[in-house]
Structure 1
């Protein structure tokens, strides 16, 4: 198993042009036989930022995970420890596509 820890941002979009939330975080992304897993935590979040993340997760936990290299993937955020820690699950689009561009999945197409 390979893993990488990276600073990133969780972006919450109301629509294609309006971002209502951007949260700086650190995630540990680990490859697995089935794809990948990711656990993370907010970086220096204030009480207002934690409350905002909680509110947006309650409205719709779908976020865009944006890494330092500007790669992005759609994820679902599951808060695990109060409002600072979370687990990320890849979000499958309506077209059925999902995944991290840098992680290849094993198995037939």
Structure 2
């Protein structure tokens, strides 16, 4: 659809699944509580709980992310940086964008446009 740019699709469909995958990895592999995860990623424990209970994403997409070699590597790196308190906002933004671009290419058969210089 012409008036629905890739970023709009990503914001509503892809990014929640990436966040849920990171939250899942922090919970299961780093054994962090919902409260600790929430504090580290700047949200609430109930939001983290909703991610883990599939209320904010589609678990089939989360499983696709975790089973995709390229995307899961990026999710694991984000989780590691967050768990070890080494994540900067810039690092996480870059990794989220890279993961999103990877998934948009695979799921939507679409590539994001380069950012034009004005």
Q: Comparing both structures, which one devotes a greater share of its residues to strand? A: 1
TM-score bracket for this pair, using the shorter chain length: under 0.3
Larger relative CO (CA 8 A, sep 6+): 1 or 2?
2
Q: Comparing both structures, which one devotes a greater share of its residues to helix? A: 2
TM (normalized to structure 1)?
Answer: 0.28
TM (normalized to structure 2)?
Answer: 0.26
